Each structure stands twice: as structure tokens, then as C-alpha cells.
Structure 1
Amino acid sequence: MTDAAANLIELTGIERVFHLGDSEVRALRRITLSIAHGEYVAIMGPSGSGKSTLLNLLGLLDRPDAGTYRLEQRDVTTLSPEEQARVRSERIGFVFQSFHLVPRLTAAENIALPMMLAGIAPAERSRRVAKALRDYGLDDRAHHRPDQLSGGQRQRVAIARATVMRPAVLLADEPTGNLDRATGEEVMRLLEELNRQGVTLLVVTHDQTLGARARRQLAMEDGAITNDSGSALTLAGNSSRPA
């Protein structure tokens, strides 16, 4: 029997349907899934398999049409948009393939942005930004804008911004997709070090080599989980994590 208290994420019967003209696309099909605190999970599958839709839902950027999503034992599917935004700000970090930095802001200002939006005091913001710049080797790039940074430096700024609020889970969508192999390896080492420190890490990728680095792999196809390397029992569209 699964110990629900040990799980960070609990999805039950999640459905997501998109209507495109007269067509109906079932992007997620009855997804049932548990992810424990501190896990390192790769969500894998071809384009159109539903992996990015699942990531958006886990990040509270989208709502399911059916089913329940519990984060830290709280049903977040019932929250208002404002309440979801607060949970997203405080408990979820995002790392994207295209970095999504604010072009007019410096590296330091991009890192500070989530704390400004959360109303954290300036002194605490400054302390955390200074530490993040040191931790990610960006001290000498603090006052550079994104267009003055390399791809690897921009992704390090993005990771620093994603983790400065000390989230419970970090969602990475193709985090090495715009980087060369050596820089991508450096970025993955940074993400994996965060996981070793206790941050739950979910990486969406179509790269089998990248996915194999995770301790658990979820394979998706046509909106369903078709294989779960962490589950003793795997059913198409209905994978669950045993105790």
C-alpha cells in the first residue's frame, strides 16, 4: 500500500481534452501517478505524446478536465487561479528549453524576479541573489542582460531563478535542447546536484540518453503512460507507484 504522506505528487484519473474546431483531442487519458519527495523522474515520449501537457498540468499552468491533482497532500485542482499562482510561485520551479529570461533585466534582476513578485523583503532578496550568483558561477555576469550571456550562462540564470524560492519540485522541459553537448552536460550536472540536495526533479525529454540518467522513467504515448520503470504494475494510461 502506498504511503501517501511520502508522496509529493498524487494524480488520480487525470484527463485533458482540447477542442480544435470540430475535432476533439484527448491530450491526457486517465493518468494516475504518484511521485515521492526527492525523486528524479524523466517523462519521455515522441512529439504529441502528452508529456508537455502533463508538465504544464503539474506546474499549474493548465487545469485538467477530470481527475484530481494533490501536491504536498493538498488538492490543488480546487484552488482559485490566484491561489494556484501562489502555490506555483512558492513550491514549483520551471526550467525551459528557451530560457524565458526577461530581456531587459540583468542576470541578477532575473534571479530576483520571483522573490519580488512574492513580496520578499529587499535585504533577503539581495542575500539570496548574491548566493545564487556565487553558487552558479555567475558573479562576473550579475549585471549582464541575457543577450550578453552564452547559452549555458542563460540556462544557469534560469536555474538560479527557478530555485531561488526553494521549491519542492523542479520541472525541466527539454533543458538542454538549445545547448551544445558539453554545455548540456554541465546543466544536467547542476540539476542533478539540486536533486541530490532533496529537490524533486522532473525532466521532460525525447532524448533517450538524457532520460536514462533519471532513476525513474515514464514513457508516454497518445496521452497515456505506457511504461513506468518505477512501478511493479504498469497499465497503459494507468501507472501507479508502489510503496
Structure 2
Amino acid sequence: MPLIELTGIERSFHLGDSVVHALAGLNLSIEAGEYVAVMGPSGSGKSTLLNLLGLLDRPNAGHYRLEGHDVTTLSSDQLAQVRSERIGFVFQSFHLVPRLTAAENIALPMMLAGIAPRERQVRVAQALKDFGLDQRADHRPDQLSGGQRQRVAIARATIMRPALLLADEPTGNLDRHTGEEVVKLLEELNAQGVTLVIVTHDQALGSRARRRLLMEDGRLQHDSAATPDSPPTSHAPG
């Protein structure tokens, strides 16, 4: 059973008098443990796809099955619970809470999930060690470098042990050396079994993924996993 299965996904937005088809007739299957890069020009549907995979947005039509469950029919509260327990997010701009320390930022998802303080403490201590942040536990984001902030963000994204990690331009605000360290960290998590989906404009980063998806005009134009004899993975509606 695939971890992710999208069937006939449509997502459109109204801009003035016009309708923009951000995703059109999208069919996509991703197995557990895959390392996937989603690429394409601005406006191709990459971010819309990521938001939909992360249950931050709903399709207008079609079905999204996550771990075998159709999540398109879930209530907002149910979606929030699935996001909390099964999906981690890493963003270009880190999105850390400014007033919280590194340790408190990492612990935040567990607090929201109602995990007991003692277990939170143990898991945060292990995460700080694993991500090389032992000496930065009590530092706020404005006291951390860009690379340290992104490591805190990744630790926070994975502290609930999600099945799926979504990264939106994770190296976009980092210099090349720091970006390389962050990518290696993400790849180590993938090697441990976490399914990794990265949206990026960076060809060098995209080429590292074992599977590359090329989006264009809301459609999946190329899937490196497809063989020459495979049927198209996406089609225009109607």
C-alpha cells in the first residue's frame, strides 16, 4: 500500500474573473521511505501540491489517501490531528516561535499533542544531541545562526516521529555550505525510513533525490520513476 495516493486531484483558485487551475487531474503515488524532489517553474503547482500533501489545503475534486485512509473527507479537527501525528514540515523561513528557546520550540508539537512532560524532556534532550544543538538548548532563534535555526526546525518537525516530512525550499535562506549540512541531515532522516518530499528550485538539490517530479501548469509533466512504456501519471481533465 502506498504511503500517499492522489487520484484525479483538482485544485483551482478564483483570481478576479478568472480561474487558475493550480492542480489539474493529478494522479500520484509515493511509497513509504521514498526521497522525492518536486520541481518546476514558479506557478507550476509545486507549493499547492505540498500544501495539499501536508493537509493544509483541500482539493476541489479527487481523493487523497494517506497510509490507506481517505483524508479528503476528514473534518478540520481530524486533519489537524493527522498533521500533528503523521506529518512534519520544514520551511525556508524556519517559522520558529521567537520568544521560545531551541528546546521549547522542539517540544512545542509534543505539548500540543498532550505528551507528558517527562517524556517531552527525554525526547527533546535526545533531539538536541542528535541535531548537534546541545550547547544551544536555551538560545532563542535570534541567538542562533541560520543553520542552527533550520536544525531546530527539523528537530521540531520530526519530534513526533512522522511518516512524512515535507520540506519547502529548506536551503533557500542558507549559504551553500550550511545548506549542504542541512540536506545531509534530511537525507539521514530519509535513510532512517522517513518519507522525504522536497520542493525546490535548486537543480543541484533536486538531482540528489532518488525520484524527481516536474510540475508545469498544474500538471505532472515528468516523473523520473516512470519507465518509457509507463502510461502518463497525469492528464488534463475531460
After TM superposition, the score normalised by the length of structure 1 is 0.95
Structure-1 separation of matches of 2:220 and 2:126? 39
Structure-1 separation of matches of 2:235 and 2:140? 45
Structure-1 separation of matches of 2:203 and 2:216? 15
Corresponding residue SS for 2:208: coil
Gaps of 5+ in 1: none
Structure 2 equivalent of residue 112 of structure 1: 107
Structure 1 position 84, deviation (Å): 0.3
Structure-1 separation of matches of 2:150 and 2:123? 18
Structure 2 equivalent of residue 70 of structure 1: 65
Give the one of 116, 122, 127 matched to 2:117: 122
- Residues 78-117 of structure 1 mapped to structure 2, 5 A cutoff: 78-117=73-112
Structure 1 equivalent of residue 135 of structure 2: 140
- Residues 20-31 of structure 1 mapped to structure 2, 5 A cutoff: 20-31=15-26
1:47 and 2:54 are equivalent in the alignment: no
Structure-2 separation of matches of 1:178 and 1:45? 19
Structure-2 separation of matches of 1:174 and 1:207? 8
Corresponding residue SS for 2:128: helix
Letter paired with 2:186: L
1:235 and 2:228 are equivalent in the alignment: no
Structure 1 position 57, deviation (Å): 0.2
Letter paired with 1:86: Q
Greater Cα offset, 184-193 or 228-237: 228-237
Contact 1:227–1:234 under 8 Å retained in 2: no
Q: Deviations over 1:85-122 (max 9, x none)?
A: 00000000000000000000000000000000000000
Letter paired with 1:80: S
Q: Percent identity?
A: 76
Structure 2 equivalent of residue 18 of structure 1: 13
Q: Deviations over 1:190-220 (max 9, x none)?
A: 0000000000000000111110000000000
Q: 1:36 to 1:236 in 2, by over 3 A?
A: closer
Structure-1 separation of matches of 2:184 and 2:97? 25
Give the one of 194, 199, 203 matched to 2:189: 194
Structure-1 separation of matches of 2:31 and 2:50? 16
Structure-2 separation of matches of 1:152 and 1:209? 19
After TM superposition, the score normalised by the length of structure 2 is 0.97
1:224 and 2:215 are equivalent in the alignment: no
Q: 1:227 to 1:184 in 2, by over 3 A?
A: same
Structure 1 equivalent of residue 170 of structure 2: 175
Structure-2 separation of matches of 1:238 and 1:231? 15
Letter paired with 2:196: L
Structure-1 separation of matches of 2:212 and 2:205? 11
Contact 1:14–1:68 under 8 Å retained in 2: yes
Contact 2:27–2:233 under 8 Å retained in 1: no
Corresponding residue SS for 2:171: coil
Structure-2 separation of matches of 1:42 and 1:10? 16
Structure 1 position 238, deviation (Å): 4.0
Cα RMSD, aligned residues only: 1.1
Letter paired with 2:59: P
Letter paired with 1:209: A
Contact 1:223–1:237 under 8 Å retained in 2: no
Contact 1:228–1:234 under 8 Å retained in 2: no
Gaps of 5+ in 2: none
